[in-house]
Chains A and B, each alone.
Chain A
Amino acid sequence: MSASAAATNRSHGSFGASVRWLLRKLGGGIFVLWAVATAIFFGIRMIPGDPAEAILGGPGSQASPEALAAARAQYGLDLPLHVQYFGQLWRLATGNMGTSYSLKIPVTDVLRELVPSTLILAVLALLLAWAMALVLAVLSTRSGGLGTALASGLEIVSAAVPHFWLASVLIMVFSTALGWLPPVSTNTPAGLVLPVITLALPLAGFLGQVMRDTMEEAQRSAFALSARARGESETGVLLRHSLRHAALPGIALSGWALGSLLSGAVVVESIFARPGLGRSLLSAVTTRDIPLVTGVALLSAASYVVIMALSDIAERLVDPRISAP
């Protein structure tokens, strides 16, 4: 759990403190976005290759000097670096992410088209991973030694499987051999099954390990003991107390999981030929499409900031004690 969250939560209680907390979160979020934009701006300029060539279709394009000059002027690449930098920040601040070098359409349009596709994939994968992790955790806690061993083994192995390997094997089995599911992913239920499983399985392994640990701890806590002493059933203890407890690290992990899902989406969207942020990110980096890379990075940073703030709130709702350091 982020310690900064714990630190800011100390002031939890009054309305003024809540506003202060919100402002601080907002400030922190803006700082993160600025830093990401800056890092990308300078980082990508250090990559060998002329951005003007990227605009004109790559270094093999044999673009004439006139064409290169025209492209530089059109995209403002002939301006001094600091002018470009502040110009870029100003445009970003006003919501203008520029025009993609490779797609020649505004980055905001590209993102608007791609976000739903990746979002569907990521949300479904996250939900499935959560569900699998919860089921495994509950079942194994309830069923004793052998069940625990089995669940634990399953979690560990699925967390150790590379995405691209899993994707290839799933295609081979379910598309080629059995013919049950399409190898190319679309937004239909059948088209989503394979990519969602590919993304969810390793994540479920991680979440499961963490949740089961916490749950077992909670089962033995004074909390649970007193509940049992009050005559609550074992299942009641599990559902009312331990599960709630186990949800905490899971919630805290959601921000991290999002990043991991986006990284996973790069691989999964490529293999299942699914349009989305991950696939665009990969092609944008290889074609040196600076505006698009910046756009995807800022979007994922922004969602990280939002998810972290939401999970802070969620944590406090699930466990009011969290404000105590």
Chain B
Amino acid sequence: MTLAHPLANRLVPAATVLAAALVLASCSPAATSSDTSTDAGTPVTGGTLVYASGDAEPTCLDPHVGGNYPQALVASQYLETLYTKDADGKLIPWLAEDSTVSDDGLTRTVKIRDGIKFTDGTALDAAAVKTNFEHLLNPETASSTGYLALGKIDSMDAVDATTLELKLKTPDNSLLESFSMPWVAIESPTALKRTQAENCASPVGTGPFKVESWKKQDSVNLVRNADYVLPVSTAAHAGTAYLDAITWRFIPEAATRYAALQAGEVQVIDNAQPDAIAAAGKVSTIKHLDAPRPGASNRIELNSSKAPFNDAKVREAFIHAVNVKASIDSLFFGTAPQSFSALSSVEPLAYSEESLFGYDAAKAGKLLDAAGWSNRDSEGYRVKDGTRLSLTFPVSTSQSIPAEQSLFEQMQATAKESGIEIKINLLDLSSWYGDLAKNDYDLVSAPYTKVGPSVLSVLFSSASTIPAPSGYFANHSQVKDPALDALLETAGSTKDEAERKDLYTQVQKKVLEGYYVLPLYDQQNHFLYSDKLKNVGATTAVATPTFFDTWLAN
């Protein structure tokens, strides 16, 4: 879809990954995309790109339904969004032409671009967009991500063919950012009329590719959209995509995936593991694309709703009792710079505070002594009133990669020296969600991808501690602070960009200084690809790669 290179300056098709990553860590703006220099040559039309995904196969190819990252990855090839981000990370209109908001912030008018058709021939207009939003808000669609993003829409009206007017319940300054996410992508209203099963199997969009067939448990076959119209000329070329087709395969085993890339059976792999990235750095025929996801950083949340973490001193002590830096350095081979923020480094409003997060066992010990955890039991763990200082840590084996699991194990070993016991439970996703719903955790690492700082509302407002019917809630540190709620409320509705930035900075300060989270690194999103593939690097606003400009050398 979008030809934007958001933060192309960070997307490093690196020959020597280690070096590149180090450069990236120290001075990212200076490192520029080397697309032009390495991908010189005349583009060739034709060929099939084989993409190997390590994610679980989506159960539905329409990202309106449910709405997770694996869906966004594949849907970014055949669906497009109203807004997107350009190479500099700036939000730009895409299928939309423009948008304005009323003074009270309660009416949002969106101009839809003219002359664009879905691959089934249906024309894109305001009514089509309205149908999409209605589809997302309909409970029967069972959308979770897109549904939340559009939650503030009260009613909508297609005033004319190109004008959509949205009435909001409360002002929402993150709406355009929400429009840039593939979970709110625009599909053909004609196709949406089909049954959900049919639409899940072959959603119809405006993207440079379209879904040809889906062999369940094997691959999704995408073919070039021969009538593609590029909405905004941000790409290196116009017209249709160079590639004839994309075969989207699912290869769950990381080692097999990398072996398949080495053997030339596939040209792109996602979820590349740190050791494979490091190994690929020594292979001249394999290149690396590092595209951290927007939204939250990858962090450990400390459950403040119950003992022992209802005591801020204990939270602070825990954060100083673990040595995150040493572990990241050795386990991630320089592919993941340490984060000191609740937000991803690709978020312009991210606020970082390194001084809060150093390993300092002596300080941890003092804090724990002061908090009353001064006695030790026979195994060397601290006790207070006969209770051991023990932390339950459910870990989802499908969300935490092996290197991350090892990082947690190392934290466990280091925390033990300070007398803190960490109990790691490796669980499948269903059981993991089950433990969270039962409030049976003290520590948890849960990813959350969203465009813009409004993710902070999702993660830290009191409202987010109220569970959905499934028991799910996003505020895992269970911060309930009226002052924080008020800040988030104003930050989310103000029309003043400077005030928005200031308020979100205050929010992040409060969260970090309250020791509710231990940031680790950005949500890792690494791709490795064959050097036969040229012009790789364009991504959507949620950092999913797109292949409109990509061509396959003979």
**Which of A's residues lie within 8 Å of B, judged by CB?**
47-50, 53-54, 56-68, 70-71, 102-105, 110, 113-114, 168, 171-172, 175-176, 179, 182-184, 270-273, 275-276, 279-280, 283, 286-288
A288 to B59, CA, bound (A): 13
Q: Which of B285-332 contact A (CB under 8 A)?
A: none
Q: How far is the CA of A168 from the CA of B259 in the complex (A)?
A: 11
* Complex contact A62–B148 (CB within 8 A): yes
Given contacts A65-B469, A104-B200, A273-B249, contact A59 B56 (CB under 8 A): no
| Nearest CB on B from A267, distance (A) | 10
Task: With a 10 A CB-CB cut-off, give which of B139, B252, B257, B470 has the most chain A CB atoms.
Answer: B470
B233-251 contact mask (Cβ, 8 Å, vs A): 1 or 0: 0000000000000000111
Which B-chain residue is minimally distant from A56 (CB atoms)? B142
Q: Interface residue tally of chain B, by bracket?
A: 35 or more
The chain B residue with its CB closest to the CB of A272 is: B256
Give 1 or 0 for each of B59-72: 1 = CB within 8 Å of chain A CB: 11000011010000
In the complex, the answer to whether A49 meets B430 with C-beta atoms within 8 Å is: yes
Is there an interface contact between B469 and A64, defined as CB atoms closer than 8 Å?
Answer: yes
* In the complex, per-residue mask of B243-274: 1 if CB is within 8 Å of any chain A CB, else 0: 00000011111011101101101100000000
Contact B430 A287 (CB under 8 A): yes
Whole-angstrom CA separation of A179 from B200 in the bound complex: 38
| Interface pair A62/B468, CB less than 8 Å apart | yes
Q: Are A113 and B437 in contact (CB under 8 A)?
A: no
Q: Which residues of B contact A70 (CB under 8 A)?
A: 139-140, 142
Give bound CA distance, A19 to B66, whole Å.
54
Chain B proximity of A62: nearest CB distance (Å) = 4
Contact of A184 among B196, B215, B260 (CB under 8 A): B260
Cα distance A171–B261 when bound, in Å? 13
Q: Which of B141, B147, B197, B256 is the most central at the interface, judged by chain A CB atoms within 10 Å of its CB?
A: B256
A280 and B428 CA atoms in complex are apart in Å by: 15
Q: Give 5 closest A-B pairs by Cβ, nearest first.
A: A57-B66, A66-B139, A59-B433, A183-B259, A273-B251
B263 touches A175 (CB 8 A): yes
B218 proximity list for chain A (CB < 8 A):
275
Contact present for B260 and A61 (CB under 8 Å): no
> Bound state CA distance, A62 and B262, in angstroms?
39
CB pair B216–A103 under 8 Å, yes or no, is yes
- Asked whether, in the complex, the Cβ of B469 is within 8 Å of the Cβ of A68, the reply is yes
Q: A61-B144, A171-B255, A280-B217 are in contact. List 10 more A-B contacts (CB 8 A).
A: A47-B430, A48-B431, A54-B430, A57-B60, A62-B147, A105-B216, A176-B263, A183-B260, A184-B266, A288-B430
What string of 1s and 0s marks CB contacts (under 8 Å) between B65-90 and chain A?
11010000000000000000000000
How far apart sit A125 and B150, CA to CA, in the bound complex (Å)?
53
25 contacts between A and B (CB under 8 A): A47-B430, A48-B431, A49-B430, A50-B470, A57-B59, A57-B66, A58-B66, A58-B430, A59-B470, A61-B66, A61-B142, A62-B144, A67-B142, A68-B469, A70-B139, A70-B140, A175-B262, A176-B263, A179-B263, A184-B52, A184-B256, A184-B265, A273-B253, A273-B257, A275-B215
User: Which one of A61, A62, A179, A271 contacts B253 once the chains associate, using CB atoms below 8 Å?
Assistant: A271
Q: Which residues of B contact A64 (CB under 8 A)?
A: 139, 142, 147, 468-469
Whether B19 sits at the interface, judged by CB under 8 Å, is no
Q: CB distance A67 to B430 under 8 Å? A: no
Q: Could you say which residues of chain A place their CB within 8 Å of the CB of B370? A: none
For A54, list chain B residues within 8 Å (CB).
430
Q: Tell me, rounded to whole Å, the shortest Cβ–Cβ distance linking B273 to chain A.
A: 14
Residues of B within 8 A of A102 (CB): 59
Closest to B428 in A: A286
* CB of A54 to closest CB in B, whole Å: 8
Q: Judge if B429 is at the interface, Cβ distance under 8 Å.
A: yes
**Could you tell me the distance between the alpha carbons of A65 and B147 in the complex, rounded to whole angstroms?**
13
Q: What is the CB-to-nearest-CB distance from B56 to chain A, in angstroms, rounded to a whole number? A: 7
B29 sits at the interface (CB 8 A): no
Point out the residues of chain A lying under 8 angstroms from B433, CB to CB: 49, 58-60
List the B side residues contacting A171 at CB < 8 Å: 255-256, 259
Is there contact, CB below 8 Å, between A105 and B197?
A: yes
The docked-state distance in angstroms from the alpha carbon of A73 to that of B257 is 40
A60 CA to B140 CA, complexed, in Å: 17
Please report the C-alpha to C-alpha distance between residue A63 and residue B66 in the assembled complex, in whole angstroms: 8
Complex-state Cα separation, A172 to B437, whole angstroms: 41
A-contact bits for B196-210, CB 8 A (1 contact / 0 none): 110010000000000
Q: How far is the CA of A159 from the CA of B141 in the complex (A)?
A: 50
Q: Give the residue of A62, A71, A110, A286 whose beta carbon is less than 8 angstroms from that of B216.
A: A110
**Is B472 part of the contact surface with A, judged by Cβ < 8 Å?**
yes
Closest beta carbon of chain B to A58's beta carbon, Å: 6
B46 within 8 A of partner (CB):
no
> Contact at B428–A49, with CB atoms within 8 Å?
no
B121 within 8 A of A: no
Q: Residue on B with the closest CB to A183? A: B259
Q: Mark B109-147, 1 if CB is under 8 A from A, else 0.
A: 000000000000000000000000000000111101001
> In this assembly, does B514 line the interface, its C-beta being within 8 Å of a C-beta of chain A?
no
Closest to B66 in A: A57
- Of residues 21 to 68 in B, which have CB atoms within 8 Å of A's CB atoms? 52, 56, 59-60, 65-66, 68
Which chain A residue lies CB-closest to B257?
A: A273
Chain A contacts for B142, CB-based, 8 A: 56-57, 61, 63-64, 67, 70-71
A58-B429, A59-B437, A179-B263 given; A67·B139 CB < 8 A: yes
**With the chains together, A271 CA to B471 CA distance in Å?**
33
The distance from the CB of B286 to the nearest CB of chain A, in whole angstroms, is 13
A48 partner, pick from B147, B259, B434, B470, beta carbons under 8 A: B434
B429 CB contact (under 8 Å) in A60, A66, A272: A60
Give CA–CA (A66, B255) in the complex, Å.
42
* C-alpha spacing A61/B470, complex, angstroms: 8
A68 touches B470 (CB 8 A): yes
Cβ of A184 and Cβ of B56 under 8 Å apart? no
CB distance from B257 to the nearest CB of A (A): 8
Known contacts A104-B200, A288-B430; A67 and B66 CB within 8 A of each other: no
- Check if B217 sits within 8 Å of A279, measured CB to CB: yes
Considering the complex, give the chain B residue whose CB is closest to the CB of A71: B142
**B263 in contact with A104 (CB, 8 Å):** no
B-side contacts of A53, CB under 8 Å: 470
Q: Are B472 and A183 in contact (CB under 8 A)?
A: no
Give Cα distance in the complex from A279 to B56, angstroms. Answer: 12
Query: Of all chain B residues, which has the CB nearest A180?
Result: B263
Chain B residues closer than 8 Å to A273, beta-carbon distance: 52, 249-253, 256-257, 260
In the complex, how many angstroms separate the beta carbon of B79 from the nearest chain A beta carbon? 18
Q: Complex: how many Å from CA A63 to CA B259? A: 38
Asked whether B265 lies within 8 Å of A182 as measured between CB atoms, the reply is yes
Q: Give A183 to B265 CA distance when docked, in angstroms.
A: 9
Q: A67-B139, A182-B260, A273-B249 are in contact. Are A59 and B472 (CB under 8 A)?
A: yes
Q: Which of B213-232 contact A (CB under 8 A)?
A: 215-218
Interface mask (B415-456 → A, CB under 8 Å = 1, otherwise 0): 000000000000011110110010000000000000000000
Q: Which residues of B contact A270 (CB under 8 A)?
A: 252-253
